[in-house]
Each structure stands twice: as structure tokens, then as C-alpha cells.
Structure 1
Amino acid sequence: MHQSRKITDDVYYVGGSDRRISRFENVFPVPDGIAYNSYLVLDEKTVLLDTVDLSVSRVFLENIEHLLNGRKLDYVIINHMECDHSCTLEELVLRYPDIQFIGNAKTFTFMKQFFKFPVDGHTIEVKEGSTLTTGKHTFSFHMAPMVHWPEVMMTYDTTEKIMFTSDAFGTFGALNGNIFVDELEDRILLLPEARRYYTNIVGKYGAQVQAVLKKIAPLDIRYICALHGPVWNNQEDIAWILDKYNKWSSYTPETEDIVIFYGSIYGNTENAVNVLSVKLAQLGVKNIKMYDVAETDISYLIAEAFRAKVLVFASSSYNAGVFDKMEYLLLDLKAHNIQNRSVMLIENGSWAPSAAKAMNEIISGMKNINLLNHNLSIKSQLNPEQEEQIDATAQVLKQALQTS
């Protein structure tokens, strides 16, 4: 029984959702599952845009068969060759042996690496600005290298004003019948998982995302069809998600907030930042967030660091360095190219505090980080004599929030 949905008169959603998966890419927790999106255009020539993960291949193939209703599949446009969007290509070849694959030169290099079926003779290579007319529809192709693989491209349906955006503008989370953003209660509910998806999957490649945003800006986009998450189907929502992507990809803080990340072994470092949070609240600072780096999955921590303006890293010293979970977070933030933040360091150590130095060594390799010159060092536990230091720390953090 098919589960397809109509987007426009002859453009259909044919993807599916996996709610059994626990970790996307075997890394990122997905408690609400993940959607693998694919789209079918029924024109004089039939066109499939991307395929799906094997986990939802059955419903995907049923959707296509139902909609084709005996017609052959003429073209498959491959915007992205990552396995969760390409691994059913071989099954399509078995079912529709005359299909032509449309992609760029790098697309077909990857196809030959992943598959053993004959690729040559079944390909149409496109470049920036190339077009394909299939009857009523004309598609134009826009290269988007390193968003987030080198072969990535986006396809624009000039007839229906649909931008098929590969992994860009996607979100974590399964789709539950409602495939359009305006069918959901409130788009703001999408924001945490859209942010977590972007920052962890694409976040390193901000410059490349900025280039693509400028490239597609002149286009009249009425739908954004990504490979994960819902279809963006009205102008207000499209403008909203484009603005979010502009902030995230330019590493501009999304909110004027403070986030405190702490690594505490016996609770003394945690107690110190709890005291600090109270001091901040008494100064009028709102929306303070605190995260135990040993308990919260790092993908959520990365997303929060991209969101907020001021970041505090408070860590126990460990093995003459820094608490290992804190080290992992800082190295991952560096790998994701985080920048344009104000940062404060707090360390704790009973006999030889070493965390601040170790954290500073990692942070010094990041771009445009304003390392606040007021690091706090604790020996074993926060002492009453250090209350003035805590007060001063809170004042410095508040000032950092107010500085443009």
C-alpha cells in the first residue's frame, strides 16, 4: 500500500521514515527517528530526485511503482551520493534497467566506488547552470560542493519553483503523515532538531553554505524539498529557515544567551557553576543553560554552542590535563569551525590545576574567539573566600553579553 503524498499537481513525495534507528550515521541520537526523502515528477518523462536508505526501501519502491502505474522511470537526478540517499540505486537499476542517471562528474566517480553495476552509458553529466527539460518541467542544476560532500548539488524546478536542496535545510525526526511545515503545530518546534542537524552535519562548512545561499538568492523559491525533514512550503517559513542558515553558516550567535558546559567528577565543579548561575540570574541574565558534558550527548552540546553568544567551559583537571569529556567537546567544536564567540574558562584541581591551560591550548586554535581575561581557578571546591571572584566572574560574563 503506497504512502506517497502530492506536493504539486505532478510532483510527489515518495520517501519514508525510520523510527527504529537509534543513532543517525551511527553517531547522532535520533529519539524521534529520521525521514529519508525522495521526490517523483510525473511529466512526459518521469524523474526521480534521489533515493533512500535501505531501511525504508520497501515503502519507497511501493510508492514509485504505484505512481508510475506501469510507466517506465526515465531519469534519476542524484543530488547527493551519501549512502542514506543512494543505496537503493542498484535496486532501481534492476527494476528499471533503462534509467539514465543525472549528476556531475564527482557523482559518477562515487557511483563507481559504491556500486558494481555498469554506470557508463547510463549517465548524463551536468555542470553549473545546465538544464534538463522533461516536458512541462525544466530543471536547472546548481553545484553545492562541500555542503557537505564534494559532489553535492541542488536542483531547481523552474516550473513549480521547487528547490531540491540535498541535505541542506533538513532536520532530524521522522515524518508522521504531515510532510509540510505548515501542517505542523508550530515551525519553532522544528528549530532544535534543525539546528542540531545543521551544526553537526554541515556546521564545519559555513563558507560553502554562505556561497550557496548567495547563489540561490535570486531564485523564486516556493518550496524547499530537502532530503531529511519536512517540505518548506510557504514564503514566510522559507524566509525563516534561510535566515537561520545564514546565521549558522556565518557563525553568528543566534541568541544573546550564556551556555555553561561543565565537567565535574565529584560534584564540586558543578557546584561552582551552579553558584555562578545564581549570581548571573541576580544580575538579570535570562535563559542561562547548563550542561553536564558527561551526561548530554555531544551533538546537543555542539548545537547549543552554535546558538549562544557567550560560552563557559568549566572543568575538573584530569591526568594533568582536562576532563576527557570536556576535551572531546572542545576538539569537536574546533573541528566544526566554531568562531565569533566570547569564552570563559573555569578550572578545578586539588593539587595541580591543569584544565584551564589544556582548554586554552585547544581554544587558541579556533577563529575569532574572545577569550575573556577572567578565568577562575578552584582548588577542590569553591570556598566562601572566593565569593568576590564569583561575583566578578558574573559581571564579566554579563558585560560580554552586552558587547556587540
Structure 2
Amino acid sequence: MYQHRAITEDLYWIGGNDRRLALFENVYPIPRGVSYNAYLLMDEKTVLLDTVDKSVSDVFLENLEHLLGERQLDYVIVNHMEPDHCAALGQVLHRYPEAVVVCTQKALDMIGQFFGAFPALRSQTVKEGDTLTTGRHTLSFVMAPMVHWPEVMVTYDAADKILFSADAFGTFGALGGNLFADEIPFESQWLEDARRYYTNIVGKYGPQVQALLKKAASLEIQMLCPLHGPIWRENIGWFLDKYMHWSSYTPEESAVMIAYGSVYGNTEAAAFLLASRLAERGVRNVLLYDVSVTHPSLLVAEAFRCSHLIFASATYNAGIFPCMETLLLELKAHSLKNRTIGLLDNGTWAATAGNQMRTVLESMQNMTILEPVIHIKSALTEAQLPELDALADAVAASL
């Protein structure tokens, strides 16, 4: 049974939802699943904008065939060639061999890489500012390389002022009957997934996202149609502001994330005591995370949100506690910058994790490391409480 939904009088969502997938890209936990969005424009010419992941290809093809009926598919616009959006492309082109593929040259090359040679493949490569008229609609193409693959473009419909934004403005989470962001409690129930999606999938490419946002600012946008998550038709400026913060590595909030890696509980106790000292100084937004039980993707998202980050690590085999080291390297890989940092380490016979954490953090841009860096031997002592207070004072003063 088909599951498409009308967006406008001639535009339809024909995607699908996967609620069984445990790990997106085999890395990121998605307990609420994920949607794969594709769109069909039924103008004088018919236009399919992207396809879907293999897991939902059956329902997608049913949607496509039902809406087209006896009509031919004239164009397939490929904004992004990642397999979660192009896995069904081969099936579409086999069923509709007369369709013309519209994409960048890099995307066309990738079609060959993924699918091999199609007999009599019809294609039209486009570059910045090129247009395609389909009847009432004129579609223009805006290049968005490295948001977050090199072949990416986005498509703007001048008639209805819709931006088909590829992976930009997407989010984790499967869609229910509510297709639009204004139909769901987005800020309370979806924002965390949107932040975690952006920071982990696209976060490394802030300058490229900023370039796309600058181009988007010149367009009159009344609707955002991403490839994952709900469609935006209200409060678009609010969501664009989130992207401005995330892509410029500007903290969303004055908040403190304390991430700790503890073997026997002594480092955890010190981290909790520091959090308590901050609360006593009036700091209201303090979050404490055990790096051994919290997935790194959540901690990366929190690090993008918070202005202040405190890392408390046991020394392990004369190095950083492994889960803490993973977190720090993830933050570096995602190009996080512009944060205020506190450090605490613990070691019975070699408290060296603090200096090694400092080395990683100092290799990142504009990371301000507060003093003192606290070194614990086995367990925090009464004599070290003034150091803990001094670090709490430094964090509170810098907020």
C-alpha cells in the first residue's frame, strides 16, 4: 500500500522510514529510527528529487509508480550520491530508462562507481546557477561541495520557494503521520537528534556549511525539504540560527559539560564534587557524563552545544583512559573549536593523562585551558580541595 503524502498541489513526499536500523552509517545509535526522504514533482514534466536507502526501496517504488500512473518519469535530480539516498537509483533507471539524470559531474562519476555502466544512460550535468524548467516550476541548482560529500548540490524551486537541501537541515528520527516540523514538538523532542545528526555527520565541514548558508540567504525560502527528518515551512529562521551556531562552532548555551573516565570510582567522585562546587557558585547548567556508558556521538553533540568542557580522566597504561581518548579524538576530527576547557587527571603511579589531554586539545583551534589542571594520585585528598575550588572559581568566572 502506497504511503506518499502531498506537500503542495503538485509536490509529494514519497520516502520511507526505517525504525529497525540500530546504527546509522553503522556508527551512530538511532533509537528513534530515521527517515529517507524523496520528492516527486508532478508538473508538465515529472521530476524525482533523489531516491532512498535500500531498506525502504520497496515502499518508495510503490509510491513512485502509484503517483506516476501512466505518465513517464522525465527527470531524476540527484542532489547527493550517498547510498542512503541513491541505493534505489539503479531500480528507478531500469524502470524508467527514458528519464534524464540531472546532477553534478562528480555525482555522475559516482553513479558509474556505484552502479557500473547503464545502457543509454541519459544525463545532464549542471553547475552553479543552471536552471531546469518543467512547466510552472523553474528549478535552479546551487553547488554545496563537502556538505558533506564533494558532489553535493541543492535545488531551489522558484515557483513555490522551496529549497531541496540534501543532507543539510536533516535530523535523525523516523517520521510518523506528521510530516512537517510545525506538526511536532520539535524543540523538546527532536532538537537533540537534529544537533547530534549535524555535529556528527556534517560538523567537520563548518566552513562549507557557512558558504551554503550565505548562498541560501540570497534566496526567498518558504519551505526546506531535507533528505532526513521533517519538512520546514514555519520558523525556518530559528532552525537556520541553530545551523549558524553549529557551523561557526559558536556555543549554543553557557553550559558546562563534565565528561569523566573512571576505573574504580575515584575520578568519578572528583568529577561529581567539581560539579557540586560549580552548582554552589550559581552555575545552573552542568551536565555530567560517564564516557564509558555514553556514546561518543551524544558527547560530540553536547560539546557543540556547551561553552565549557571539563575532561576528567584516569590514567590508563600511562595514557588517556581509552573511552576519553576516543572522545577527544572525535572532537578533534569534527573540528570543534572556541571552547573553554578544564582538566583533571588521576593516576596511582603515573598521573600523565592530563598532559596528554592538553596536547590533544592544544592542537585544536581557540581552546582556552583554565588553570589549575588538577592531578590526583589515586583519590582526591582534603589538601587538594582548594585546587578544586580554584578550578570551579575559574569556570564560574569565565561563564
TM-score (norm 2): 0.99
- 2:99 counterpart letter in structure 1: I
**Aligned-partner Cα distance in 2 for 1:216–1:174:** 26
CA contact 1:18–1:174 (8 Å) conserved in 2: yes
Residue 275 of structure 2 corresponds to which residue in structure 1? Answer: 277
CA contact 2:260–2:289 (8 Å) conserved in 1: yes
Further displaced range: 85-94 or 120-129: 120-129
Residue 38 of structure 1 corresponds to which residue in structure 2? Answer: 38
| 2:234 is the alignment partner of 1:239 | no
Q: CA offsets, 1:88-137, max 9 Å, x none?
A: 01111121111110001101111110012427641001000000000111
Q: How many residue pairs get matched? A: 399
Matches within 5 A, 1:351-366: 351-366=349-364
Identical residues among aligned pairs (%): 55
CA contact 1:112–1:119 (8 Å) conserved in 2: no
Residue 137 of structure 1 corresponds to which residue in structure 2? Answer: 137
| 2:266 is the alignment partner of 1:298 | no
**Aligned-partner Cα distance in 2 for 1:342–1:388:** 21
Residue 266 of structure 2 corresponds to which residue in structure 1? Answer: 268
CA contact 2:22–2:29 (8 Å) conserved in 1: yes
How big is the shift at 1:391?
A: 1.1
Structure 2, unaligned runs of 5 or more: none
Residue 25 of structure 1 corresponds to which residue in structure 2? Answer: 25
Query: Residues 349 and 120 from structure 1, CA distance in 2 versus in 1: closer, same or farther, beyond 3 angstroms?
Result: farther
Further displaced range: 183-192 or 1-10: 183-192
CA contact 1:45–1:74 (8 Å) conserved in 2: yes
Residue 70 of structure 1 corresponds to which residue in structure 2? Answer: 70
TM-score (norm 1): 0.97
CA contact 1:78–1:103 (8 Å) conserved in 2: yes
CA contact 1:181–1:187 (8 Å) conserved in 2: no
CA contact 1:269–1:315 (8 Å) conserved in 2: yes
Residue 114 of structure 2 corresponds to which residue in structure 1? Answer: 114
CA contact 2:97–2:121 (8 Å) conserved in 1: no
How big is the shift at 1:247?
A: 0.4
- 2:276 counterpart letter in structure 1: V
Residue 343 of structure 1 corresponds to which residue in structure 2? Answer: 341
Query: Residues 223 and 163 from structure 1, CA distance in 2 versus in 1: closer, same or farther, beyond 3 angstroms?
Result: same
- 1:245 counterpart letter in structure 2: Y
Query: Residues 151 and 119 from structure 1, CA distance in 2 versus in 1: closer, same or farther, beyond 3 angstroms?
Result: farther
**In structure 1, which of residues 365, 369, 372 is the aligned counterpart of residue 370 of structure 2?**
372
**Aligned-partner Cα distance in 1 for 2:187–2:265:** 38
| 2:187 is the alignment partner of 1:187 | yes
DSSP-derived class of the 2:17 partner: strand
How big is the shift at 1:78?
A: 0.3
CA contact 2:79–2:155 (8 Å) conserved in 1: yes
DSSP-derived class of the 2:64 partner: helix
DSSP-derived class of the 1:219 partner: coil
CA contact 1:90–1:117 (8 Å) conserved in 2: no
Query: Residues 120 and 305 from structure 1, CA distance in 2 versus in 1: closer, same or farther, beyond 3 angstroms?
Result: farther
How big is the shift at 1:258?
A: 0.5
How big is the shift at 1:57?
A: 0.6
**Aligned-partner Cα distance in 1 for 2:65–2:2:** 9
Q: CA offsets, 1:263-322, max 9 Å, x none?
A: 000110000011111111011000200110110000000000000000000000011111
**Aligned-partner Cα distance in 2 for 1:117–1:92:** 15
DSSP-derived class of the 1:377 partner: strand
Residue 83 of structure 2 corresponds to which residue in structure 1? Answer: 83
**Aligned-partner Cα distance in 2 for 1:20–1:352:** 45
| 2:42 is the alignment partner of 1:51 | no
- 2:135 counterpart letter in structure 1: G
CA contact 2:172–2:194 (8 Å) conserved in 1: yes
CA contact 1:168–1:226 (8 Å) conserved in 2: yes
How big is the shift at 1:388?
A: 1.3
Q: CA offsets, 1:331-366, max 9 Å, x none?
A: 110010000000111000001111011111111110
CA contact 2:104–2:127 (8 Å) conserved in 1: yes
**In structure 1, which of residues 331, 334, 337 is the aligned counterpart of residue 332 of structure 2?**
334
**In structure 2, which of residues 306, 311, 314 is the aligned counterpart of residue 316 of structure 1?**
314
**Aligned-partner Cα distance in 2 for 1:185–1:257:** 23
DSSP-derived class of the 1:52 partner: coil
How big is the shift at 1:187?
A: 3.5
Matches within 5 A, 1:114-263: 114-118=114-118, 121-234=121-234, 236=235, 238-263=236-261
